[in-house]
Amino acid sequence: MNILSPSILAADFTRLGEQISEVDRAGAEYLHFDVMDGLFVPSISFGMPVLKSVRKATKRILDVHLMIENPERYVDEFADCGADLITVHAESCRHLDRVISQIHQKGKKAGVALNPATSLSALDYVLDKVDMVLIMTVNPGFGGQKFIESSYGKIRDLKSRMEAAGLHTDIEVDGGINADTLPGVLEAGANVIVAGSAVFKGNIAENVRNLKNIMEQK
C-alpha cells in the first residue's frame, strides 16, 4: 500500500490546525513530524509540546522523524505525546538495536533513517527488527532541497535486499519529492512518501489529490 505523509515542516504555522484538517480531508494517511535539534542537523524545528497539540488535531498516523543526537533520551516522551511511528537516524545512535527495542517497548512502530551518504550496510543487523526504513533523498536539515538522483539506486538496492530476506518492511522517502520525482521513487520500491512543499505550497487539497493519483497508478 502506498502512503502519503505530508510534512508539517512546510505548513503555515499560523494556520497549522486548519491545514492539518485539510490534508486529513484530502486523504493523506500519515502526518510527518520533523524534529531537529540544531546539533545533528543545523536547523531547530519543534518538539514535544507541538506534537501533543497536533495529536489533538488529527487521528492520522503521526510519523515522527527524530533528526536529533542521542534520540534515546526522548523516545519515551515523544511516544507519550502521541507518536505512532518513531524514526531515528542510524548515524545518531550509538546503540541502534537498543533504541529500536526502546521504541517497541513503548508500543510504537520503529523506523531507521539513513542519510544520503550512509551505506545500507548500517542496517545489516537490524533490518529484520524495524517496521520502516527511511531513505533520505536530500541531506537532512532544510526543506526545499533538490532530490539526489543516486537515491533511486539506493531504494532499489534496499528493496532487493528486503525481498531476498523475505521482508515486507515499509520504505519511506523524504526530500525533494514532487510530481516529477514521485513516479521514480515508487518504481524503485518506496511506498511511504513524505512531501512538504509539494503538499503545503498552493492548494493543499488539490496537491494531495494529485500526488495520491500518481501513487494509485503505481
Place of cell 492548494: 203
Residues acting as catalytic residues = 34, 174
184 is in an annotated binding site: no
CA-nearest of 48, 50, 137, 122 to 92 is 122
168 is in an annotated binding site: no
176 is in an annotated binding site: yes
174 is in an annotated binding site: yes
What is d(CA 56, CA 59) in angstroms, rounded to the nearest whole number? Answer: 8
166 is in an annotated binding site: no
In the chain, beta strands by DSSP E? 3-6, 30-36, 61-67, 85-89, 109-114, 132-136, 170-174, 192-195
Q: Please name the residues in contact with 167: beta carbons below 8 A apart, sequence gap of 6 or more.
A: 127, 128
65 is in an annotated binding site: yes
197 is in an annotated binding site: yes
- As annotated, the binding site includes 7, 32, 34, 65, 141-144, 174-176, 196-197
- As annotated, the binding site for substrate includes 7, 65, 141-144, 174-176, 196-197
- As annotated, the binding site for a divalent metal cation includes 32, 34, 65, 174
